[in-house]
Chain A
């Protein structure tokens, strides 16, 4: 059978440093390949090398053959001409990739019209059909900003596949989606090989790889760790790293052991909240006890973050009350953020940030170093600025920063949703350990039901 993509000895270099490879694989039509690995493993480099969109400072070596054409023999213009016609890409976080000033329907129909070269009437019919099959009825004339994450992902999917390219590259297609939308996108992708296309998916989620099947490539630090059938790799992996990756999936986490909760630290009564005038949460009650681990779940846009802000005292409720235990000061409630780099002053070395907090709260620096050690943060990282450490490291530093204050309550807003499974597991395990040690109550917002049920003692679902 002919192969639609054949990659041989692909390596990517920055100067003389090898960032990726060598990697070889071949995918046939009606087949799927999943590229797995942690953040920074070089997964996206493969996609960029195939598309020809590597940054100018990087150089690719090796042979890539797409539909029988050797890409090394093509000019950049000829390669760009393949986009949309032979190779299509489903971008990461599509709500950022869609044209924010163009409504959903024309955004999709212009691809039918100009990439698939249909007449205006044909393009309109094709778009109507796509919106119907993708369950987007009603969203036709909305701007991307007014679409939910899942809808934006499906509009992007419609626009991407409108050119009828036989090969689809999906780069982290489930990033930032809640569980339900996550499943929808994966079933859409699974239809691509079923209807004769070739699917290349980049993901760090084991569950996505499992659903899509086909071939699997596991990368670590740019090196090929394992390659083979999804069946084999995902059930009986040969390498310990793949095994670790599989074990790190939240459904395999040990259930948290129930423990006796302490005195009440925070109570919320009959809380009704609104953001920008639109009502979100109503009649919410919560009694939080010291040392408790509570998971807060619910679909996107239901008001999880808003609720957390109200508990932190950052937002005043429309109705109802949030009360800390009388002995607790304002700073005993601390927050962990979804995007750790955005939670630190960007141009300040991390050490200075931690020193400020330690000085303000009279915490010994030795104590801060103890927290850092406990969280596995190497002290030399503190000389850097936030953008020069990895997301996992920075989230652990932000836990240490919160600990410096001596908190009684930690409010964590999807603190690991941007991290790969191994880092996610380790970070949450460390959070649980330090919280247990100091008898801190943790409220964790998550969209992953497995994390919620395995990590927390108590589950609150917002609907």
Chain B
């Protein structure tokens, strides 16, 4: 096979080029739009998500309120954007705080084997034995309505995914003759990680991260909806659903908005994760 269609010509890029499928492009495009809206949106619209106006409750779209107003006359558009900011920043941060230790510990367990592997594995199993939301609920009970409790709970639950994925894949990669050959050639740990582990495991980790972010977004909304997560009056999609649920007959388009935002975000994350195909 001298004319492999995917060979990299004239580049020293060590990480495999990921071929983007149409669905993945769509997912990444949606995520980019959501991120831009969450970061730049509130400034652009300029509305205060907490400002009430009891004369203008449950209104439909108007020039002043493009997506209408809620039961307390607050601007839906700025509330949704503020909720997006909260959910996405929490998801992004939890991906980092869960992903980094999870990946590092996973590589360590695979690398050293023996008792470090067993201790870390048992720890991960113990975390897994608790249903994910239970840990978040416990932390939320200690410190009700706190963003930090939510963040810590989600990170503590999600690191196991990274750990298990990395450990499993790294064990296989490290046992390959290619790694033995590289060791014999004198490559140190850093080069072994860069040339063998990162190219082999990296693309899959991005997928795990996207699913993890989706889980975080869903968890925030679910806890908000059952009133144990973020508390009113903070604009959060789950909280907004609870607040608008009693008015679903009069103003169905209002409650549909946070639901649509949540569905769209999770869908975008899943699409950007699932379309990954290594060449």
Contacts and interface: CB of A to CB of B under 8 A. Distances in A.
A197 to B, nearest CB: 34
Interface in A380-418: 383-385, 387-390, 398, 401-402, 405
Interface stretch (B90-98, B160-168, B192-200, B264-272): B192-200
Looking at A331, A347, A348, A405, which has the most chain B CB atoms within 10 Å of its CB?
A347
Most buried by A among B15, B178, B191: B178
Interface stretch (B4-12, B34-42, B63-71): B4-12
A44 to B, nearest CB: 14
B186 to A, nearest CB: 4
Contacts of A345: 178, 182, 195-196, 199
Nearest to A343: B181
Contacts of A40: 1
Interface in B1-44: 1-4, 6-16
B177 interface: yes
Nearest to A330: B186
Given A334-B184, A383-B10, A356 B177 contact: no
Given A343-B181, A347-B14, A383-B10, A360 B4 contact: no
A334 B195 CA distance: 19
Contacts of A388: 1-4, 6-7
Contacts of A334: 184-185
Contact of B7 (A337, A348, A385, A390): A385
Interface in A319-335: 330-331, 333-335
B191 A344 contact: no
Contacts of A360: 185-187, 191
Nearest to A405: B185
Given A349-B8, A385-B4, 15 more contacts: A337-B181, A339-B177, A343-B177, A345-B195, A346-B199, A347-B16, A356-B187, A356-B191, A360-B185, A360-B191, A383-B9, A388-B7, A390-B2, A402-B185, A405-B185
Nearest to B5: A388
A401 B10 CA distance: 20
B176 A348 contact: no
Interface residues of A, number: 36
Max chain A C-beta neighbours (<10 A), residue from B1, B6, B177, B180: B177
A331 B196 contact: no
A349 B176 contact: no
Interface in A191-232: none
B12 A346 contact: no
A388 B7 CA distance: 7
B187 A384 contact: no
Interface of B: 1-4, 6-16, 176-178, 180-182, 184-187, 191, 195-196, 199-200
Nearest to A309: B180
A344 to B, nearest CB: 6
Contact of B186 (A339, A342, A384, A405): A405
A14 to B, nearest CB: 11
A405 B187 CA distance: 11
A458 interface: no
B186 A335 contact: no
A377 interface: no
Interface string A115-141: 000000000000000000000000000
A383 B184 contact: no
A333 B14 CA distance: 27
Contacts of A337: 177, 181
A344 B11 contact: no
A367 interface: no
A361 interface: yes
